[in-house]
């Protein structure tokens, strides 16, 4: 049931937020230089199973994604392999320049523990109310499915809607008088 719900929700009014990512500000801490964030985020790269985002010194990853517009985040898809894919994913809305040291100082906007289904592509529906006014998103991948040294992420996709488009429609209605 919930799977059907989320699927239809995605079809209805949620779009892939790939177009609204501000690529100049995207950062990823502890990524391996050969397997970088683009492999997981960018169109085409993320569909390729051979191209992964990999962690470097240990299994944690801290991804910072700013957006060009204010958006509402509905759900995310995090795909990876069964052993080395991410498990605990914490999301922070509108927190800039976090580091690994202060990542546990704030409560996350939402936490997702990825099941094997999720890791294969099933979207995780988030607490929508927490993500109504998102300028930037920080994704903290705390550990992976099998607690191995390296975390490998094949795909990260964000689904939601933009805030500004809604506002424009609202303006038009007023002008009709």
Binding site for other proteins (CB under 8 A): 29-30, 33, 56-58, 60, 96-97, 99-101
Strand partners, 78: 156
Residue 30 or 161 with smaller CB distance to other proteins: 30
Q: How far apart are CA 150 and CA 57, in angstroms?
A: 8
Q: How far apart are CA 113 and CA 29, in angstroms?
A: 21
Smallest gap, in angstroms, from Cβ of residue 58 to other proteins?
7
Residue 55 or 109 with smaller CB distance to other proteins: 55
Q: How far apart are CA 92 and CA 99, in angstroms?
A: 12
Residue 22 or 96 with smaller CB distance to other proteins: 96
Smallest gap, in angstroms, from Cβ of residue 51 to other proteins?
19
Smallest gap, in angstroms, from Cβ of residue 29 to other proteins?
6
Q: How far apart are CA 152 and CA 33, in angstroms?
A: 13
């Amino acid at each position: 049931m919930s799977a059907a719900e989320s699927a239809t929700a995605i079809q209805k009014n949620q779009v892939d937020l790939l177009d609204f990512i501000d690529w100049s500000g995207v950062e990823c801490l502890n990524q391996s230089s050969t397997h970088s964030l683009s492999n997981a985020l960018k169109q085409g790269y993320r569909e390729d199973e051979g191209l992964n985002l990999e962690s470097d010194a240990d299994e944690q990853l801290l991804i910072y994604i700013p957006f060009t517009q204010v958006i509402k985040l509905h759900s995310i898809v995090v795909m990876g392999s069964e052993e080395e894919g991410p498990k605990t994913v914490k999301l922070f809305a509108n927190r800039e320049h976090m580091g690994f040291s202060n990542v546990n100082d704030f409560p996350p906007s939402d936490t997702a523990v990825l099941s094997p289904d999720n890791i294969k592509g099933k979207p995780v529906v988030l607490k929508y109310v927490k993500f109504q006014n998102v300028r930037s998103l920080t994704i903290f991948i705390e550990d992976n499915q099998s607690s191995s040294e390296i975390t490998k992420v094949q795909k990260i996709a964000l689904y939601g809607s933009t805030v500004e488009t809604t506002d424009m429609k609202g303006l038009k209605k007023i002008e009709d008088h």
